[in-house]
Amino acid sequence: MSEFAAVDVIRAKRDGHPLSDAQIDWVVDAYTKGIVADEQMSALAMAILLRGMTPAEIARWTAAMIASGERLDLSSVTRPTADKHSTGGVGDKITLPLTPLVAACGAAVPQLSGRGLGHTGGTLDKLESIPGWRAQLSNDEFKRQLQDVGAVICAAGEGLAPADRKLYALRDVTGTVEAIPLIASSIMSKKIAEGTGALVLDVKVGSGAFMKDLESARELARTMVRLGQDSGVNTIALLTDMSTPLGLAVGNAVEVTESVEVLAGGGPADVVELTLALAREMLTAAGIDADPAKVLESGAAMDTWRAMIRAQGGDPEAPLPVARETEVLRATADGVVSSVDAYGIGLAAWRLGAGRARKEDPVSFGAGVLLKVRPGDEVRAGDVLLELRADDPARIPAARDEAAEAVVIGTEPPTLTKLVLDRIA
């Protein structure tokens, strides 16, 4: 591999020049090995955020991140594989009901998931609220469960795209998360390395998402769909609203409870709608002809959920942790709920202990926010709007302020946004 000086690569991007394939291969490899220092990669990430990258640069950067680690070979799995990735949101527990549902329809679903950081929740934190459940599986355990149960949700192994693990942690503390080339290559390097045959991306748009407006979300979706298709992964994207939290529960155990309600045939309408919309896309992309609504109704998805949780040491019947303290927030006047801001509710849940400030912090499984109203609901003064739950009472005041600001009561009914805003194939 050619050798470069990191500072020349940084200068080239800073001055708006596209990086060559050799420069990209070198800088990603050298950063993974610790030859390029964090401060140099920080400067390069900022130059990429400000200057952007051409499609060819993004494709090469993604390939270099994949090449930094191993690629899983899922050819031993006999069913078609289909995965879903969400760019992250508030109350986004869709992976929990979706994975067993799509498996119950005949696909194998390899879900390598992450933990929450900041105001967005993480699937692994939610599942770890189930007594006994373990997130770490070896590659062999992962493949065996995928074949036997058809559904796995677990942590990505250390060997998968290590360049991304290092770079993502750096971006998180250098204000460079929101660069489309870096988000797209980060997500797609892991998904391509994981070996799935089909992939459905749920690109979130709105206050609770990384992408705040529809146009940037579309650009991110197009970039990722192209990267997937060019690597032989049948990829499509849905753009979905994240201005309001998904469902009525935001936290860890409370989101597991809501997901189980969906698997039992109930649950909030928006969670059911998005679960079914993503399931249909995954099944079509995997070439499976099945109706997920019927499968959900039959109870087969619940059976797969139980099998999936048990396979990873969890007890699906065990009671989930409940927070020690509860406080309710009430409406101070009559009116109509104009908005429930996803970012504000996400931040409140985080302050209550559902999320972490640093990667090594523990989360409180019982903490979170329960929404008692949705945009468009009429309320009377004194009605309960939100329930705040925390293990540590000292966490409640700051969360209360954040949560109170997130619910806006007006006089006129708001125009309600659609949940699925666009589809990019």
Which positions touch ligand URA (CB under 6 A)? 87-88, 168, 177, 182-183, 186-187
- Of residues 4 and 168, the one with the C-beta less far from ligand URA: 168
| Residue 346: half-sphere exposure toward Cβ, Cα within 13 Å | 26
Q: Which of 193, 248 has the CB closer to ligand URA? A: 193
CA-CA-CA-CA dihedral for 374, 375, 377, 381, to nearest 10: 90
- Give the torsion sign (CA, 230, 231, 236, 240): negative
Of 299, 84, 48, 72, residue with least CA distance to 185? 48
Beta-ladder partners of 384: 330
Residue nearest ligand URA (C-beta atom): 186
| Nearer Cβ to ligand URA (104/242) | 242
Given 190, 204, 389, 395, the catalytic residue: 190
Q: Which residue intervals of 105-179 are DSSP H helices?
A: 123-127, 139-148, 162-172
Which C-beta is closer to ligand URA: that of 89 or that of 335?
Answer: 89
Asked if 164 is an active-site residue, the reply is yes
Burial of 416 (0-12, 13-18, 19+ CB in 10 A): exposed
Among 126, 165, 171, 191, the active-site one is: 171
> Is residue 171 flagged as an active site residue?
yes
Rounded Cα distance between 327 and 219, Å, is 41
Please, are residues 387 and 369 in contact by the beta-carbon 8 Å criterion?
A: yes
- As a whole number of angstroms, the distance between CA 246 and CA 336 comes to 19
Q: How far apart are CA 53 and CA 98, in angstroms?
A: 34
Nearest approach, Cβ of residue 185 and ligand URA (Å): 8
Q: How far is the CB of 170 from ligand URA (least distance, A)?
A: 11
Catalytic hit among 92, 164, 202, 341: 164
Q: What is the DSSP letter of 220?
A: H
Q: Is 38 a catalytic residue?
A: no
Question: CA-CA distance, 230 to 55, in Å (whole number)?
Answer: 11
Q: How far is the CB of 112 from ligand URA (least distance, A)?
A: 10
Q: Least distance to ligand URA from the beta carbon of 369, Å?
A: 22
Q: Which of 13, 60, 85, 218 is catalytic?
A: 85
* 119 is an active site residue: no
- Min dist CB 68 to ligand URA, Å, is 15
- The active-site residue, picked from 42, 185, 186, 189, is 186
Residue 67 vs 170, nearer CB to ligand URA: 170
Q: Could you tell me the smallest distance in angstroms from the CB atom of residue 297 to ligand URA?
A: 33
Nearer to ligand URA, 30 or 203 (CB): 203
Give which of 22, 19, 1 is closest to 9, Cα–Cα: 19
* Catalytically annotated residues: 85, 164, 171, 186, 190
